Amino acid sequence: MDTQVPLIETRKLKKYFKTGKGMLHAVDDIDMQIQKGSTLGVVGESGCGKSTLGRVVLGLINATGGEIYYKGKDTVKYSSREQKSLRKEMQIIFQDPYASLNPRMSVSEIIAEPIRVNHILHGKKEIDQRVKELMETVGIARRLAYAYPHELDGGRRQRVGIARALSVNPEFIVCDEPVSALDVSIQAQILNLMMDFQDDLGLTYMFITHDLSVVKHISDEIMVMYLGQCVERAPSRELFENPRHPYTEALLKAVPIPSLKNRGKPREILKGEVVSPIDPAPGCRFAPRCRYATEQCKAPLEFREVSDRHFVACRLTES
């Protein structure tokens, strides 16, 4: 058992949204821990609540219930000074770098802004020097310092987004589908860059994606979400080699395997109706799409440890 205090921990974390039809359960009772210097991959289809979870953890939107601990302390109990420092220590990299960068600011202004706003450096000379260093670190040529986002390609824009996140010396970064909008070859460059930073700076990542193949190599642990709930969590390798939840199995079958043998083979696509996330009934939310579903699956499920650090919420794993 890991006795180290996690950098980030959530307990029974919930985020519900009021709608005309009832409460939408975007995030429901999420328990997770991320150790310092490690990466938790959070995977699930669009609408499963993974991006909302990232924003709640960062404090960008308020939780409906549950607790968030940072370095072992409940963030609700942070003083306003500690809250301010927390905002610097926790950063986000967005999926669409174009939408997240101010189109009226040049590359150097975008990177310098958080340094100024957070009073990390004061003099123009020091700030310019830091911007130069950050551009070099993320691999943006110096000649692009005065370029605007629309003049850059997707990969370079994402590098600017990464430089901006790094400019405040964060400890924890939520990476929300950071490579989904990029070409496959650029994806690999950005992922490698992020892994290098993790090694060099000891960064901790929560890496959100709909694509399991993206998180396979970057994650220490993977959490699979379905309609606001965590259905399976395990060390990355274990999850790929021994998936125990039918939804994880289905996601794995949907991962393209680039080999001659698989060329032309259709990928398995999940069928079946997705239950509404508004006031969902107790029991397994995946049941209408699960080929193993029985009446028993309508009863509330336990998120059980089935082997070392491998947790699953499925009747099939109950003895």
For ligand SF4, the binding residue among 32, 165, 290, 306 (CB under 6 A) is 290
Q: Which is nearer to ligand SF4, 50 or 285 (CB)?
A: 285
Instruction: Please report the DSSP string for 164-213 in residue order.
Output: HHHTT--SEEEEESTTTTS-HHHHHHHHHHHHHHHHHH--EEEEEES-HH
Please tell me what DSSP assigns to residue 151: G
The two structure tokens encoding residue 61 = 């939107």
Q: Could you tell me how many residues of this chain bind ligand SF4 (CB under 6 A)? A: 13
Nearer to ligand SF4, 199 or 295 (CB): 295
Q: Which of residues 76-135 bind ligand SF4 (CB under 6 A)?
A: none
Q: How far is Cα 248 from Cα 153, in angstroms, rounded to an integer? A: 34
Of 30 and 194, nearer to ligand SF4 (C-beta) is 30
Other Cβ atoms closer than 10 A to 253:
13
Q: Which is closer to ligand SF4, CB of 264 or CB of 300?
A: 300
Closest CA to 229 of 216, 243, 248: 248
- Per the rule left: phi > 0, alpha: psi between -120 and 50, beta: everything else, 228 is left
189-248 binders of ligand SF4 (CB under 6 A)? 245-246
**Single residue of 292, 305, 307, 309 touching ligand SF4 by CB under 6 A:** 292
Residue from 147, 252, 255, 293 in contact with ligand SF4 (CB under 6 A): 293
> Which residue, among 211, 213, 232, has the nearest Cα to 223 in the 3D structure?
232
Query: Cβ of residue 209: shortest distance to ligand SF4, in angstroms?
Result: 21
Residue 13 binds ligand SF4, judged by CB under 6 A:
no
In degrees, rounded to 5, the angle at the alpha carbon of residue 7 between the alpha carbons of residues 309 and 134 is 120
Q: How many helices (H) and strands (E) does the chain have?
A: 10, 12
Which of the residues 265 through 284 are near ligand SF4 (CB under 6 A)? Answer: 284
Considering only the stretches 26-34, 141-149, 197-205, 290-298, report the one whose residues sit in contact with ligand SF4 under the rule CB under 6 A: 290-298
| Residue with Cβ nearer ligand SF4 (16 or 247) | 247
- The CA distance from 256 to 262, in Å, is 9
Min dist. Cβ of residue 201 to ligand SF4 (A): 39
Binding site for ligand SF4 (CB under 6 A): 245-246, 284, 286-287, 290, 292-293, 297, 301, 314-316
